[in-house]
Chain A
């Protein structure tokens, strides 16, 4: 445990020096504030507090931005060590490969946690400023924060996996962008195409929910939208969210980080320095 904490400490230090902490936080705050400002208009019509509206907007933002940030932070984790030539020495130390990744994950999760808390926090402040009722949206905000961290942890694990598989930072970066496009953008487009093409009556009730749950990004969206009181404001996915029990999307969100880490450790173990 001490070794994992030390690895986490040194990784956090490196991220601080490399400005990753500042970049991640800055990005989250900037985007969250832009959303808060843009989302200020519809309040009167929907009849819910300003913060709940903001959280729904933030969910849509997080589903793109959190995986992207996580992959950007993690694609270099193993491939970078291979390229710098620091891996052979590290692996002669009495620390397991799983321990190395766990340490990196811990540091990166903390950074993501800081970034989303400050980012969403900034948007929440904006909501509080204009709407005294905004406190009603606080549970939704807190839920959004911890689910964002889980979503981030999943994509951090994916990042380590790709980093271990490619062994070169440039290759890992390409794979990371590809994975982001596939899971966050193309996956939903594909499902949408299947729904629109009317692929059998059973699809929307049978395979579709399972496919949505299988993708951590969709599970994140489902959970936050279904849990929010303001499903009506969410549009789009609201229908699908209502038909899938909350515990299922929560389970998917909670299991994915472990699955991703296990895959990453397995790939990391295959590397001979």
Chain B
């Protein structure tokens, strides 16, 4: 199957400043890719280049087999800007009817689309009266027009409450199942963990890490931490036998080790038998992994 989006060795410079350096990426039909990074990491710039809003300095980009921003590409790509904005004097329905006509679709679908994002009751109110979350949903509704082959969503869940976020990701799952490719950006790794097939961590315009969450865990090689609760009176002897361990104020003992030493350490700890009463194993959290990759470049 041909890929929906192919980027090879993309570089974008604004004067002397490199916003993106040597970025390569392939998105297959039905794939959900999350672009993670701090503010200013180059996420929005990359999206605008894919959409053809700004030109690339170097590199090749193919969007649905066409040049970014070409009429063919625009007909198949939907975009949700970071802060979706619309004319405040229009109602949600009027705005969507306009967008439908611009895409050559029947304007009668506007009500349906608004209902899909939970705005049925607000359809006839002016967008000027909407909350940020509601505007975001109008933005989301317009990305559902037609059957786009690629959805480019810039911070799509900003301004949405947790329940709406879940609905939103359910909507994306449905679109991906129908074969649409999705590229979304976020700065929250926890949010995208279960919802994406591929994660790209962007820092200072470079791809610092790419792959599934499991891949990233492996690449990061972050330590696993063990927390032991010693039995009455055994704390000191345990501390002596475990080099590098820390005695916490709660009376528990914490020790960490590399991934590959995990099982060996676990064996030793279980060997302590009744001298410990409890054990917790904490793998590196998503936040740890994310800060590991984004900190590598000194951010």
Are B85 and A84 neighbours in the complex by a CB distance under 8 Å?
yes
Q: Does B174 contact A (CB under 8 A)?
A: no
* Bound: A109/B89 CA distance, A: 20
The 8 Å CB contact of B90, one of A13, A272, A273, is A13
Are A6 and B87 neighbours in the complex by a CB distance under 8 Å?
no
Are A18 and B53 neighbours in the complex by a CB distance under 8 Å?
no
Closest chain-A Cβ to B119's Cβ sits at a distance in Å of 17
Q: Does A41 contact B (CB under 8 A)?
A: no
Q: Does A17 contact B (CB under 8 A)?
A: yes
Closest chain-A Cβ to B108's Cβ sits at a distance in Å of 14
Are A92 and B53 neighbours in the complex by a CB distance under 8 Å?
yes
Across the two chains, which residue of chain B brings its CB closest to A80?
B87
* A86: B residues at CB distance < 8 A: 85-87
| Contact (A10, B98) CB under 8 Å given A2-B104, A84-B87 | yes
Q: Mark A59-93, 1 if CB is under 8 A from B, else 0.
A: 00000000000000000000000001110110111
Q: Mark A248-273, 1 if CB is under 8 A from B, else 0.
A: 00000000000000000000000011
* Bound: A81/B66 CA distance, A: 27
* Bound: A18/B94 CA distance, A: 15
| Contact (A18, B74) CB under 8 Å given A88-B81, A89-B81, A94-B102 | no
Q: Does A136 contact B (CB under 8 A)?
A: no
* A193: B residues at CB distance < 8 A: none
The 8 Å CB contact of B103, one of A14, A85, A94, is A94
Q: Does A143 contact B (CB under 8 A)?
A: no
| Contact (A18, B79) CB under 8 Å given A272-B54, A273-B53 | no
Q: Does B141 contact A (CB under 8 A)?
A: no
Q: Mark B68-101, 1 if CB is under 8 A from A, else 0.
A: 0001001101111101111111100011001101
Closest chain-B Cβ to A214's Cβ sits at a distance in Å of 37
Q: Does A192 contact B (CB under 8 A)?
A: no
A-B contact count (CB 8 A): 70
Closest chain-A Cβ to B70's Cβ sits at a distance in Å of 10
* B104: A residues at CB distance < 8 A: 2, 94
Across the two chains, which residue of chain A brings its CB closest to B142?
A89
The 8 Å CB contact of B74, one of A84, A94, A272, is A94
Across the two chains, which residue of chain B brings its CB closest to A9?
B98
* Bound: A2/B98 CA distance, A: 11
Are B71 and A94 neighbours in the complex by a CB distance under 8 Å?
yes
* Bound: A44/B78 CA distance, A: 68
The 8 Å CB contact of A91, one of B53, B71, B78, B94, is B53
* A6: B residues at CB distance < 8 A: 98, 101-102
Q: Mark B11-54, 1 if CB is under 8 A from A, else 0.
A: 00000000000000000000000000000000000001001111
* Bound: A144/B87 CA distance, A: 34
Are A272 and B75 neighbours in the complex by a CB distance under 8 Å?
no
Are A85 and B90 neighbours in the complex by a CB distance under 8 Å?
no
Are B75 and A14 neighbours in the complex by a CB distance under 8 Å?
no
Are B103 and A93 neighbours in the complex by a CB distance under 8 Å?
yes
Are B53 and A13 neighbours in the complex by a CB distance under 8 Å?
no
| Contact (A93, B102) CB under 8 Å given A10-B90, A14-B87, A86-B86 | yes
The 8 Å CB contact of B89, one of A2, A18, A94, is A18
* B77: A residues at CB distance < 8 A: 92
Q: Please name 10 pairs of A and B residues whose Cβ atoms are closer than 8 Å in the assembled complex, sorted by A.
A: A6-B101, A9-B98, A10-B87, A88-B81, A89-B84, A89-B85, A89-B142, A92-B78, A94-B103, A94-B104
Give the 10 A-B residue pairs with the shortest CB-CB distance, closest first: A6-B101, A85-B85, A17-B89, A92-B79, A94-B74, A10-B98, A94-B75, A93-B102, A92-B51, A86-B85
A sample of 5 more A-B contacts (CB under 8 A), given A13-B90, A94-B104, A272-B53, is: A2-B104, A10-B90, A14-B89, A86-B87, A94-B102
